[in-house]
Amino acid sequence: MAHIVGGITTSHVPAIGRAIARELQQDPYWKPFFDGFAPVHTWLEQARPDVVVVFYNDHGLNFFLDKMPTFAVGAAPSYVNADEGWGIPQVPAFPGEQHLSWHLINQLIDAEFDLTTCQEMLVDHAFTLPMALLWPDQNWPVKVVPVCFNTVQFPLPSAKRCWALGEAIGQAVRTWQTDDGREPRVLFLGTGGLSHQLDGERAGFINKAFDLQFMNSLIEDPKWATQFSVHQLVEKTGTQGVELLMWLATRAALGEQVRRIHQNYHIPISNTASGLMVMEPVQG
């Protein structure tokens, strides 16, 4: 049976890619953000994940408005990124873990989630940059399963639904058995948020108090954010702050209780309040 080693949640912003490409990690503007990842690297060395299930949202690379799935699960042998419109630096391809993809798909359909399944899938900065923050040498030591959430076109899935999806994925991973009897080590990675708004007269809106309360709730009272409608989440966190839905799914996948291994919070990078957490499940 598979073993869940933990969950990491982090912001994703295209500007991170430019900062990496220009090697600005020690630049005063970027240092407080990149320094947050040193403890993550140490933790990853002992956690040694084999597979990463990545909860993220596509920004108009793989999906357009002609076909907009609420939840899409990748089932491809490998995943590449591509030009998103501003010549973002490319990263090496990510090897897929197709057996886990299909196990998740089967289990989730059984649990009555209606999914879109993708045997070809481009992954954008919301996927690639957090991976590059975890493994800066970009020599990926893991296979991946992308799970994409619609945060582009309303109606978006509710916080409650995203929690339920994460929970179902966690349960499915715990029952995953490989043919060769290995016990794969699985990491969840949730990308996005925290509070920010890119569009409209309210552009630049950030809510530090809510972000800190939300991060804390993931440890103390993990379903706290599921009380809010998506509309309320937009009001409290901005139009792109709803990306915290992927954080919620990540937390839900980890099970009943977690311990906080590491946390970092910094404002701003680009237009975003950036958050970072590492959590480990506590066996009950």
Partner 1 sequence: MPTETPIPGTTLFDGTQAMKGYALNKMCYSFNSAANRVAFQQDEDAYCTRYQLNDAQRNAIRNRDVLGLIAAGGNVYYLAKFAGILGLDVQDLGALQTGMSKDAFKAMLVAAGQ
Q: List Cα–Cα distances, 39 to 4, 45, 134, 162, 167, in angstroms.
A: 19, 10, 10, 28, 26
Kindly state the smallest distance separating residue 124's Cβ from partner 1, in Å: 10
Q: Are 261 and 219 in contact (CB under 8 A)?
A: no
Kindly state the smallest distance separating residue 202's Cβ from partner 1, in Å: 3
User: How is 260-279 classified by DSSP, letter by letter?
Assistant: EEEEEEEEEETTEEEEEEEE
Q: Which is nearer to partner 1, 11 or 240 (CB)?
A: 240
Among 12, 103, 196, 266, the active-site one is: 196
| 208 scored as a contact of partner 1 (CB under 8 A) | yes
> Site for partner 1 (CB under 8 A): which residue of 129, 273, 278, 279?
273
| 160 scored as a contact of partner 1 (CB under 8 A) | no
Kindly state the smallest distance separating residue 66's Cβ from partner 1, in Å: 8
| 256 scored as a contact of partner 1 (CB under 8 A) | no
Structure tokens at 195: 């509070």
> Site for partner 1 (CB under 8 A): which residue of 111, 115, 152, 219?
152
Q: Are 278 and 261 in contact (CB under 8 A)?
A: yes
Structure tokens at 122: 């481009």
**Residue of 54, 234, 228 whose CA lies nearest to 154:** 234
Q: Is 41 a catalytic residue?
A: no
Distance of alpha carbon 246 from alpha carbon 211, whole angstroms: 14
Distance of alpha carbon 123 from alpha carbon 120, whole angstroms: 10
Q: Are 228 and 5 in contact (CB under 8 A)?
A: no
Kindly state the smallest distance separating residue 269's Cβ from partner 1, in Å: 9
Among 3, 59, 103, 125, the active-site one is: 125
Q: Which is nearer to partner 1, 57 or 250 (CB)?
A: 57
> Site for partner 1 (CB under 8 A): which residue of 27, 138, 200, 221?
200
Q: Is 125 a catalytic residue?
A: yes
Residue 175, helix vs strand vs coil: coil
Residues 1-60 binding partner 1 (CB under 8 A) are 14-15, 59-60
Residues 94-133 binding partner 1 (CB under 8 A) are none
Q: What is the CA radius of gyration of the chain?
A: 17
Residue 202 φ/ψ, nearest 5 degrees: -90, 10
> Count of H helices and E strands in the chain?
9, 10
Amino acid residing at 229: S
> Site for partner 1 (CB under 8 A): which residue of 6, 20, 70, 84?
84
| 87 scored as a contact of partner 1 (CB under 8 A) | yes
Residue 94, helix vs strand vs coil: strand
The span of 37-45, 78-86, 110-118, 165-173 binding partner 1 (CB under 8 A) equals: 78-86
| 235 scored as a contact of partner 1 (CB under 8 A) | yes
Q: Which is nearer to partner 1, 59 or 99 (CB)?
A: 59
Positions annotated as catalytic residues are 125, 196
Contacts with partner 1, residue ranges (CB under 8 A): 14-15, 59-61, 64-65, 82-87, 152-155, 197-206, 208, 229, 231, 234-235, 239-240, 266-268, 270-271, 273
